[in-house]
Amino acid sequence: MKRHKKLFTGLLLLLLILPAGAAMTAPAISDSVWSSRLCVKDGVSDFSNRTFAALFRDAKFQQVVMRDGTIVSFQLETRSMSGNEAVIDFIMKRNGAESERFTFSFRYMGNYTLLYRLSSARGTVEGPDELLKAMRRFYLPCLLDE
């Protein structure tokens, strides 16, 4: 009887731990969303027909060594995925410690994905023209092949 009670208690603990661990994993973004063209204007190919995956999932980032010896690196994390909405964090690190975080908000529209907001501690950028400027000045230069 004691053996069954220990087994039951162990299984109960495992069942309580599993949902917590599942919640900690990054949300999955479907292949159809990743393979869609990225835009800031509805349906316009703002990034030379590049896909959402090419610019966010598969992107290769530079690691920069500053004049003072500081190593600046970049990391992407999927924050959330709910229905047709996705949010990705772009994390800038200095010597391995997070120094700045930018949050990109997307909406999947069927055959393209619309970037509709970019925010950080500095503020929020919305609207197609402002988003395109921000992407060209900040994000795209961080990619190795840009």
- Residue-wise pLDDT tens digits, 68-114: 999 999 999 989 888 899 999 999 999 999 999 999 999 999 889 99
Please, what sign has the CA dihedral across residues 102, 106, 111, 112?
A: negative
Closest by CA position to 103, among listed 127, 86, 128: 86
pLDDT at 144: 61
Which helix (H) or strand (E) segment is 132 a member of? helix 128-134
E-assigned strand segments in 68-122: 71-82, 85-94, 97-108, 112-120
3-state class (DSSP) for residue 122: coil
Which helix (H) or strand (E) segment is 64 a member of? strand 64-65
pLDDT at 32 over 80: yes
pLDDT at 138: 84
What pTM did the predictor assign? Answer: 0.76
- Residue-wise pLDDT tens digits, 34-60: 999 999 998 787 898 999 999 998 888
